[in-house]
Amino acid sequence: MKPLKFVSQQHSQVIDGNTVYFPFNPYDCQTEYMTQVIKAITKSENALLESPTGTGKTLSLLCSSLAWLKTERERMIGTAEKQRGDWPKIIYCSRTHSQLAQVQRECQNLVFKPRTVLVASRDHLCVN
């Protein structure tokens, strides 16, 4: 069965000066999650965020962090602050290959199309 495709129209909302695009109208808990992600990134802080299974944590994390990244890069271009190679990057890590595959599927539904590379363990790559 093919994964569901979202309609091309994305819902947007501004969170702390960042325009966040979401594939559908986000629930209040998703908006709060995205707000906390953006606050933590902006302040260069760690965040321990939790939410029950099925509440859209992965999508909320991706949408909010990519929105912050776009805003930050635009700010840096406007101020000529850094060279292109010095721009901030997002590195997403997960414990299992299936979780990483889910993230790559979620990226297909986003306005931002990040360049992704999946690095797996020997269990998934070794022919022996």
- How much is the pTM? 0.78
Q: How confident is the model at residue 15 (pLDDT cuts 50, 70, 90)?
A: very high
Closest CA to 22 of 37, 36, 7: 7
Token pair recorded at residue 78:
């406007």
Domain boundaries, the chain: 11-125
| Mean pLDDT, rounded, of the chain | 82
Output the pLDDT for position 48: 92
Higher pLDDT, 106 or 35: 35
Output the pLDDT for position 2: 39
What letter would DSSP give residue 25? -
Bridge-based pairing of strands 18-22 and 11-15 is antiparallel
Q: How do residues 56-112 score in pLDDT, each as one tens digit?
A: 888 899 999 999 999 998 888 888 766 666 788 888 888 787 888 888 888 887 888
3-state secondary structure the chain: CCCCCCCCCCEEEEECCEEEEECCCCCHHHHHHHHHHHHHHHCCCCCCCCCCCCCCHHHHHHHHHHHHHHHHHHHHHHHCCCCHHHCCCCCCCCCCHHHHHHHHHHHCCCCCCCCCCCCCCHHHHCCC
Output the pLDDT for position 128: 55
